[in-house]
Amino acid sequence: MPNVQLSAVNGQALGAALQASNAIQASTNGSITVNETAFLSAAKTVLPDAQAQALLAQVKGYALHGGAVFTMDNPQVPNVIVPWDAMAQTVQSGDGPAALMAAGLGVHTAGNAQQISQIIRTKLPNAPASFLNDGVLTKLGAAGASFSSHLPMPRLSPTDITKLAQTLMRAQFGPWEGHWWGWAIGFQITFNHDDAAFLAGLLNGTDGAATLIAAAKAAATAGVGGAITAVVGVLTASAAGAMAAIAFALGENMALVNNKWGVSIECNWPYTGGLFFWAQGADQGPTVTLTSPAVNARLTGAVSLQANSVAVSGVGFSANYSDHAGAAPTWHSLGNGRLASTTGNTSLWTLVFDTRLIPNQSNVNICALALTDEGNPGDVKIRDYHLVTVANTAPVNTTPTLIAAGLAIHTNDDDKHDDTSFTISVTTANGQTVLAGLGHEAYSTNGSTTYTTGSDHTLALNLNGTPAASQCQNFMVKMSQQVNGHDTWKFNATVTLHFSDGSQLYKTWNGIQLVNNHTFTF
């Protein structure tokens, strides 16, 4: 039977089309029916006619013997129905999948093929001869024997739960429904090598499912976003049935395949639920790794944010923190990194940032994120996080003085070209003393400094001394741009001055328009 191979993009589109068409139906007795007309109509929106026909033949073959019905303990979770022929193919495709299937079927304590057959027929009486053949049963027996030596250990400590949550936060998720195996759609989670080693050991030494779910929920509570939330849903649905046993086998599988780029965990499920998880060595792809500051670092004054990347156009930095006591933490852009060096296929990006722009607090989340070719935030899966503490000491001088200055820009309906630079000068009210500024900022010739329509940028200004707050009252701002040819840039700007006593002064002007080598003062 032909095995149609699809890209992740086509798999995602095909999965969505087939779900919408209701072309595949499964009943509670395990029978699976395929509406050929609806299937072909949906498949041909993504595939050429010949591929659609081949895929239909493949799915009809899987539907022929029906599926195994796994009843979940949670009444709110639908039964899982998995095609028997698909399970047979999964069992024989490698030792890892075989161990997972042995665990999922509950046959890992059986001593021989006959006992395995008896267990399956007792639990799932509709098992066909196509599944209960010597090849499948022998593979299940071998996988079960290797798995049975691993026994549950006590639950994780709160520290390990937190560490696992951070591991999940660093993982790359998706694309959801981005993989198609001809009978199921699914997703992929990729961990770096060290995180994969930690997760593998943890799954092999605990009750697995409960702690994995607890950690995923902790990560979701930390505000990671939709990907973690979706994973929690999948893991929760599976935990009531086979997930606890699968967790152990998955840990064993992960340890085997972990390479220098890490591990990708695959999960696929038919349209009615979820069952199969397995691991494979990760492919090298776009990555961003935050190298400075270190995890749990204590930051004061100006710091150098640093990140390594592979196969991305640029790296931006942001931070999640509270603007004042009692406020919920929110994300703030710190600025885009500058390319410092390239070694082989790895690039180093740096950004000097004054931490005095952040109120003192613990659990500040510093993030390095891949950028698009236009310099905007890119794929949210390609990022890295470190939790740090900001602890700046107030000066002994009781007279409040200027300690930091920042510029926030929102580009309106006309962008700034990458090879247009700008300068900003912040002066006293009479214009005679420069308080802070930047020169020849945001210039490049590779697209990394284009300020696109609707984008937001935050920059730390260079101080010219530490004048008293009284000298900064009614300050003035002068912004100029230097173009290469012609450029019109329309934007809103806010300048904020921060003082040693925690007070601030700010000035905002909306609707600024710089045309060619023009200057605007506000």
Q: Which residues pair with 186 in a beta bridge?
A: 179, 268
CA distances from 417 to 278, 315, 446 (A): 46, 18, 10
Does CATH place domain 402-521 in 2.60.60.20?
yes
**What are the tens digits of pLDDT across the range 401-451?**
888 888 889 999 999 988 888 999 999 999 999 999 988 887 777 777 788
Q: Yes or no: say if 92 and 139 are a contact pair by the CB < 8 Å rule.
A: yes
The single residue listed with the structure tokens 């670092």 is 297
Query: What local confidence, expressed as pLDDT, does residue 144 receive?
Result: 66
Percentage of the residues of the chain whose pLDDT score is greater than 90: 20
Select from 370, 365, 397, 15 the least CA-distant residue to 169: 365
Strand spans (E) along 250-397: 263-269, 276-281, 287-292, 298-299, 302-310, 314-321, 330-336, 338-343, 346-354, 361-371, 383-390
Burial class for 440, CB neighbours closer than 10 Å (0-12, 13-18, 19+):
exposed
Model confidence, pTM: 0.44
Fold match between 287-390 and 402-521? no
Cis peptide before 293 (omega within 30 of 0): yes
Does CATH place domain 287-390 in 2.60.40.650?
yes
CA dihedral 415→420→425→426, nearest 10 degrees, is: 20
| SS3 letters across 349-374 | EEEEEEHHHCCCEEEEEEEEEEECCC
What average pLDDT values come out for the chain (522 residues) when binned by 10 residues? 50 69 79 88 86 83 80 53 75 67 71 86 86 86 62 53 68 54 57 78 57 53 47 44 47 68 63 46 77 92 89 90 88 87 82 88 92 78 86 69 89 90 93 90 76 86 90 94 91 89 85 91 91
CB within 8 Å of 216: residues ≥ 6 apart? 165, 168, 228, 231, 232, 235
Instruction: Compute the distance between CA of residue 204 and CA of residue 141 in angstroms, rounded to an integer.
Output: 20
**How do the domains of the chain map onto residue ranges?**
8-147, 159-281, 287-390, 402-521
**What are the tens digits of pLDDT across the range 94-116?**
666 676 677 667 776 677 888 89
Instruction: Compute the distance between CA of residue 73 and CA of residue 105 in angstroms, rounded to an integer.
Output: 15
| Average of per-residue pLDDT values in the chain | 76
Written as six digits, the tokens of 129 are 């001869």
